[in-house]
Structure formats: C-alpha cells, structure tokens
Structure 1
C-alpha cells in the first residue's frame, strides 16, 4: 500500500515525499508537470486534479491507501487578482481528490488548509473552534476544503483531516513572501523599509515540521482523531520588528527600517493552540525559529551563488 502526494514536487510536497521515502513508505507523486525521479520506492505520475479518470487510475494502479493533498494555488495575494483561477485550482481540485478517493475506497486524506481560512482573529490564543471568516478568495477555498471534508466524512465514511498551517518557510521557498524578501535583500546588502508593520504578528513553521504533521495525520488511527481540523504552526509567534532583530543577528549588516503598527491588508491572529495536534496526532514542532532561519538563509545563499 502506498501514499499518494498531490503536488509532490511542490515546496512542502517535496519534504513530505522525502520523509515518507526515508520511512520506507512507497510514494506516488502526482503533479501537473512532467518529471523524472528514479528514487527507489517513488512513482511519479503526471496529471491534473480535475482529470478524475487519470486520478482514479493512479489510485487503483498503485494500490494507494492514503492521500496527502498539497496541490493548488498557494498564494493569498495572487488569489485577489485571480479569484476564479484560485477557486478552480483549490476548491474544484480538492473535491476532485475527495471524489476520486470515494470512488476507489481510499478513506484517509490529509487536506492542506491554511491560517487564511480564519481571517482576522482578535484572540490571544486560537484553537480549532474559531469560526472561519476569510478575507481573500484563497481563504474561502480553504474553508471550502475543510467543510467538504466534514461532509464527506459524515456522508461517505471517509477520514479527511485538514491541517490549518501557518506561514511556511525553509529551503525551497521560492514564492514571494515577506520573510524571503527580507532575507534576500539583507544578503544583497539592500535596505528594507516598511512604513507600517512592526507589530504585525507571524507564526512561522518550517516546511519539515509541516511535512511531519502531514505524515502523522496520514497514519493516525481513526480512533485517535477527535476532530477534522488541526492547527499546525512552529509553536511561537513573533512580530515583524522581532523578526528583523533575528535577521540582523544572523546576517551582519542587514538594514531594516520598520514602522509601527500592522501590515495593511494582512490578517492578524493570536497564537495557535497546538494541544489537539499534539494530543491526537503526536505533532510537536522540532525546528526553532533561530535554527530554521539559519537553514533558510544558507539555502538562499547557495541559490544566489549558483
């Protein structure tokens, strides 16, 4: 029996594939782009999420028993400019995965949701009982994936688990991000100036920790799962001003001029409660922010030289 990872060649998907292979688990990496990868235990399949016959055949041909669904449009800012494209990729794509699983008898699906599902949450601590109120089309698609998962579980007996993941970082982060932009500017000797944002909170989580949470959710017993949504973060919250301080320590000469207040048009949330994920999935973040930043900085340095 194998695990199918949608978006297995994406940022977090690569970490998931590597962790599964390291554990001796057969993996099917399902991606829209053609690729070759001859690592033992890995099968690469090219296909679109909306190509239901192709997806069903991949599940059947490779004896898939679990799915970890990471594929989709993954940038909330882009979704503001491309709402229809984002909805098609994320909401339509996710229900296609659920339906393919239902048709082939695959019960366990780990669905990637996001902190963006919640929108602004004026609470010191945020658990999974918070009512979603997304502020972007991307966030709406993540709520749709969560709710569809609950409906499929209730109607069809699936075991869909959604992970509300906070701001992911680590080697391989090529998408636009505030953290990535700050690191690249600092390494290039360029100043970063923001009129506002010094007090804006972020909850960074290393991609390797996210992958670990996904693998744990894919293998947890049905009896252990008491809810359909779990928070996943790095366990700490920092402001942009505090992040700038950490980066100054890690990159001598880094120059940041960050104004007070919050970043406009960005969600603000309290610190995520990870107690349910720890209790029922066995998840505890392993990467400290300091070590994770060093890891990310080293990778960005290496890519700049190549």
Structure 2
C-alpha cells in the first residue's frame, strides 16, 4: 500500500462529529481513507486492507508489537460509534443526530498481519462522492502522531487552513472529542488535552500552531488557534466550504548544542503553543536520539 503521499478526505460533517478513537484505531481508519479519492463511488460492500507492515513503514516503526496492537485495535474498532450532527456535502444541521458505527465488519487476519474492513452504510456518504464541504490533507501529516486528540485537532485546523485561525468553543471541543464528562475544569482540559495536542502538531506536522484561551468575563469560553504552514514545507490539502486567506511562518531553528539542556534553551526553542514540559521532553528526546542537536 503506497498511501504515505495520498490525501485523507473527509466530509466536514465527519470532521465535526463526535467520537473517540485510539491512536491505532485512527491509523487504521485513516490508512483506509487514504486509499480513496473524494469523488470515488464506494458502497458498504467495499473492503479495504491495512497491514502491520504498512503501519510500520508509515510511522517509521520496526516493532513486532505492531501486530498485537493492530489485532487489539481491530476488536475495539468494531464497537466504536460516531455521532453525526451535520449532513454530508451540504453541512446542514440534521434534525435528529445520526449515531452510526464506523465499520460494518472489521477482520484481523493473523496469518497475514492485516486488517480488512468495510465501512458502515451510514458512514459511506461522509466518505464518498464529496463535491463540497470536505477537508483533505496528506496522511503523512498525522500518521506518526501518538495522540489521537492531536490528529483530531489537526483535522479541525485544516478545515480553516486558508484562514490560519480558528476559534473553537470549549463546549464544542468537549462535544466533538466526547469529553463532556472528563476534565470538568477548563484549565485541566487545556493542560492535559489541548496543549499536548498542539505540541504534537508542532512536532510532527507541517503546521506551526499556537493556542490562547478566550475569555468572557473571567470564564474561558473558547480556544483560539493560530497556525500556518512552516516555511519551506509543502502542505497540500485544505477545506472546501471554509474561509479564505493563508499564512506562513519561519521554521523553528535547530538547537546548536551538545550539552545539558538549560532553562534558557527551553524558553528560546519552545514551539508556539507548546508547554514548558512538552518542550523539555521534545528537545531532550532529540538530544538523546542524536547525541547532539547540531
């Protein structure tokens, strides 16, 4: 499967739906979607195949544990649902929300180390024959992320890629990520979910992103994301049906050092929107891998 350079295409209604998938479950779904074109005609009888070898190549991971992880994710995926609030292609609000499974069937073939799946019938209109109100981006932008929340946030930002800014209400964020009953304090939601997701987008994708909370009085009501394509990067994709305009920022410089990481280094080389601890982990990890950051 040669999907690394292929685009993932989703109806905007699916991007703004409510669901929770784990990282491996996301990788399975996205690897299948990367095999489609937005104008393809598919049915719920169409099978798609993803192998552990495919995942390993795309994530640059050489681990035997991928096979067991893929098998476990296959079992979980059968039980995962998604709640649609909007109609495909038009983006109009549904009178009654649609709750559907992701897949009609999902099989792990242990002897081959592959997953074979068919999308659920109600899911097909959100994946097939998309003429408007859709978002696309290269699979390679998200496949190495280790946070499912980061993948979702990246998609939500790509809806507004031509604008470079998006405000997401705290309520919508909780609904879309199915976190209504988690992290009742917005400060905890920001610290444990939003900021780590922004850090991963900065680390793994071609976007440079920062987030700032927006208050109404003393209450945080929205998260404001400002983002642009990293200078020198080529990010082919975007959204049809969202605003206009675009931006680009300079690349974050490499750390020219082969010594102990200092507070000054972390402050200087932290990415926009990255927490102190996230920046420290990222920079220290890079030093450990390379022996230096030259």
- Provide TM-score, normalisation by structure 1: 0.23
TM-score, normalised relative to structure 2: 0.24
Richer in helix (by share): 1
